Amino acid sequence: MDDGLVRSISTGLSQKGVRDHNERLLLSLLQRHQALTAPDLARLSNLSAPTIFAILRKLESDGLLMRGKPVRGKVGKPSVPMMLAAGGVYAIGIKIGRRSADFLLMDFTGGIRLHRQLTYPHPLPREVFNFVQAGLAAAAAELPSSDLAKICGIGIAAPFDLWNWHDLTGPPAAEFQSWKDVDFRRELARFTDLPVSVINDATAACQAEHLYGRGKQFRDYAYFFVGAFVGGGIVLNNSVYEGRQGNAGALGSLRSIGPDGESRQLVDRASINTLETQLRDAGHNPITLWQDSGSWKDLADFVEPWLDQTARELAKASLSTCAVIDFEAIVIDGAFPIAIRDRLVEKIRQAILLEDTRGLILPVVESGSIGNNARALGAACSPVLAQFLLNSH
């Protein structure tokens, strides 16, 4: 590996990349609405027209904004909408999951410029960090040299307590346990100087959905991501709420009841891992679920009862979250094909109707739209949010 090549993308943005409040406000409005004229921005931000024009000129000169096509047909001069410049900022997102790792290079509008994936039975630190280093080299080769300094940072999405979820024995088990002592920032500092942020993987998925998916339609909602292990996130006042220790929305830890009446967690009852176990017991290789989307249809005899159970569990979990905060919506996404997600959502809607909902205001249940890339995309959002956008929390 050419260490010089990897470090060539390590300078990051200068301090001028950290915008002040009003700049962040306008960038956030443009991110949410895609394109707005100066009068629209003034109306939405309550800032004066001269202030708006001054900020827009500055952001455009910094390369963060671009002009859209003039809007004609009204009295006076045509209005010129402004929008985020895709090539104005880049960020790297890394997802470390229990069955796969993803590396992607994201532009300022959420477009994916580079995507690499590694699948495995279990993630081991040495293998994952070699994958990340190779991804950084690929990103350096993907962008023109003039754009390398526009990479504002790296976000890493990983489950909390990753080392607690495994069924390995022998030497691999000891290496897996080493995740407990891994410092992601220190490990990446071996081959890059870019700033590194770490976020819970399900919270990252929620962030991606909120910025680039269905989340724009709702102010307050709970989000479930069904991966190898189910997790979630919550959005309050149009921002993802991470909580005091970054673990808000740990919906996979909600209480459930096992088949024998024992106390369990949602993660034990509504995760793809449950389906994997059933497939393994029946002599099938569950890795096909991650490598071949068509296998979900081929394994319908196992998938269908898993969908029924997962829907019942998520219906109860959805109502439990709404007993604490009256969310207007529940958004469901996961690491499975779109058709599976849509069927799961419909089954959840039906299951909610069979539950005791006294004292609750029922939320709408909607499909997410990002899918399997949500966690890596949300990870890439972390440095962008930190430097350019508003967070109401």
Q: What is the pTM of this model?
A: 0.88
The pairing of beta strand 255-257 with beta strand 263-265: antiparallel
In this prediction, residue 13 carries a pLDDT of 41
Task: Give 159's pLDDT tier (boundaries 50, 70, 90).
Answer: confident
Q: Is pLDDT above 60 for 14?
A: no
Indicate the pLDDT class of residue 169, thresholds 50, 70 and 90.
Answer: low
Task: State the DSSP H helix or E strand holding residue 230, giving kind and residue range, or none if neither.
Answer: strand 230-236
Query: How do beta strands 196-200 and 263-265 pair?
Result: unpaired
d(Cα 246, Cα 214) in Å, to the nearest integer? Answer: 23
**Confidence band, pLDDT 50/70/90 cuts, at residue 178:** confident
8 pLDDT higher than 50: no
| Average pLDDT of the residues of the chain | 89
Residue entry with tokens 């952001």: 59
Whether the per-residue pLDDT at 10 is higher than 60: the answer is no
73 token code pair: 């047909």
- Reported as a single tens digit per residue, the pLDDT across 42-80 is 999 998 999 999 999 999 999 999 998 887 766 667 788
pLDDT reported for residue 379: 97
Given the structure tokens 């990349």, which residue do they identify?
17
Q: What is the band of 156 on the pLDDT scale with cuts at 50, 70, 90? A: very high
Which residues have a Cβ under 8 Å from the Cβ of 239 and sit 6 or more positions away?
Answer: 210, 390, 391, 392, 393
User: What pLDDT is attached to residue 346?
Assistant: 98
Please, which pLDDT band fits residue 19 given cuts at 50, 70 and 90?
low
Query: Above pLDDT 90, what percent of the chain?
Result: 73
pLDDT tens digit sequence for 302-359 = 999 999 999 999 999 999 999 999 999 999 999 999 999 999 999 999 999 999 999 9
Judged against a pLDDT cut of 90, whether residue 164 lies above it is answered with no
Given a contact cutoff of 8 angstroms between Cβ atoms, the answer to whether 125 and 175 are in contact is yes
Supply the Cα-derived Rg of the chain in whole angstroms: 22
